Chain A
Amino acid sequence: MDTDKLETLLGNQAHEFDLAVRITKEEDIAVARQMAKQLAQEMGFSLADTTKIATAVSELARNIYRYAKQGRILLRKKNAGKSEPAIEIIAADRGPGIPDVDLVLTKGYTTYERSLGIGLSGVKRLMDSFAIYSEVGKGTVVVAEKRRRRF
């Protein structure tokens, strides 16, 4: 695993993003997804893609709350002014880390009893790009992106 990349991402400054939501309690999951929805709407995403973005943020925020107790959701507009802007989602926590990243991306795999085991694999399916950086004892960062489509 790329430790330097993980450290860089964990050190991201909130002010470099259009939106930063600290996840420390259950209610923050709903706050994060509402704010993601608003930003996606502002950027002109279709209703379907706005829903996918908000749902992905909901999954990522819940993972932070469940496994790391606290962390951050950072959202950024990319390619501003271009015809195809994109939204970048970063979910970062200094939690326990994931021993086997490929395993958690397997549909149906979960270590949490009240779960479908679809969270991370679902986020990957909803987004245009998806990367996960994790190291046991250091933390986990998910970086995902969704491009706006012409419609």
Chain B
Amino acid sequence: MKETPSNPEQVVPILQIADFLLVPIQIDLDDKTVSRLQEQLLKEIERTRAKAVILDVRTVEIIDSYISYTLSETAAMARLMGCRTILCGIRPAVALTLAQMGIVLEELNIARDLEHALVLASSS
């Protein structure tokens, strides 16, 4: 596992494991951050030619409609670059909130946890 070169522009660390990328999101996703994350991720997909991206949101406490929209949009963009996006670790309270609002995370594969996500990422 190697971390991509550190860059002050990076909002989150992106770890490369074989031919996929692991992105542990451990910060509050405000609107600017989530857009920068999208940009950063697409660049890394291009650079590393990753087959899959795993977004780990285990520590993210709030996912609202805009964050959902941007994550789905990012996954659609990644798909156009030949890369799958797997989201894992959605907290129960966040799952309740998203479901109650009627938000569907399109384009994203959902995994229970990181282990499950790694299995999905390797199985393609």
Residues of B within 8 A of A51 (CB): 61-62, 91, 93-94, 96-97
Please tell me if B31 contacts chain A, counting CB pairs below 8 Å: yes
CB <8 Å contact, B97 and A115: no
Binds A, one of B3-11, B16-24, B40-48, B98-106: B98-106
Q: Mark A98-123, 1 if CB is under 8 A from B, else 0.
A: 00000000010000001110110110
Which of B28, B31, B103 is within 8 Å of A116, CB to CB?
B103
Contact A126 B30 (CB under 8 A): no
Main secondary structure, interface of A, reads: helix
Of the four ranges (under 10, 10 to 19, 20 to 34, 35 or more), the interface on chain A belongs to 20 to 34
B122 / chain A contacts, CB cutoff of 8 Å? none
User: Which residue of the partner chain, among B31, B70, B93, B103, contacts A29 with CB atoms under 8 Å?
Assistant: B31
- What's the nearest-Cβ distance from chain A to residue B101, in Å? 3
Q: Within the assembled complex, what's the spacing in Å between the Cα atoms of A55 and B91?
A: 14
Specify which chain A residues have a CB less than 8 angstroms from the CB of B61 in the assembled complex.
37, 51, 54
A1 at interface, CB cutoff 8 A: no
Interface residues of B in 78-117 (CB under 8 A from A): 91-94, 96-97, 100-103
Please tell me if the beta carbons of A118 and B30 are within 8 angstroms of each other in the complex. no
Contacts of A59 in B (CB 8 A): 64-65
Give the docked Cα–Cα distance between A98 and B105 (Å): 28
A-B contact count (CB 8 A): 78
A119: chain B residues at CB < 8 Å are: 65
How far, in whole Å, are A114 and B66 apart by their CA atoms in the complex?
8
Q: How far is the CA of A110 from the CA of B14 in the complex (A)?
A: 33
The verdict on A122 contacting B102 (CB below 8 Å), with A26-B32, A50-B93 known, is: yes
Query: Once the chains bind, are A47 and B93 in contact (CB under 8 Å)?
Result: yes
Asked whether any CB of chain B lies closer than 8 Å to the CB of A52, the reply is: yes
Contact among B28, B30, B69, B92 for A115, CB-based, below 8 A: B69
Query: Contact: B92 with A48, CB < 8 Å?
Result: yes
User: Which residues, 1 to 52 on A, are CB-close (under 8 Å) to B?
Assistant: 26-27, 29-30, 33-34, 37, 47-48, 50-52
Listed from nearest, the 3 A-B pairs whose CB atoms lie closest are: A122-B101, A51-B93, A30-B30
Given contacts A47-B93, A48-B93, A107-B102, 12 further A-B contacts (CB under 8 A): A30-B30, A50-B93, A51-B62, A51-B97, A55-B97, A58-B66, A59-B64, A114-B69, A118-B65, A118-B101, A119-B65, A125-B100
Sample (21) of A-B pairs whose CB atoms are under 8 Å apart:
A27-B30, A33-B62, A48-B96, A50-B93, A51-B61, A51-B62, A52-B100, A55-B63, A55-B64, A58-B64, A58-B66, A114-B70, A114-B73, A115-B65, A116-B69, A118-B102, A122-B100, A122-B101, A122-B103, A125-B101, A125-B102
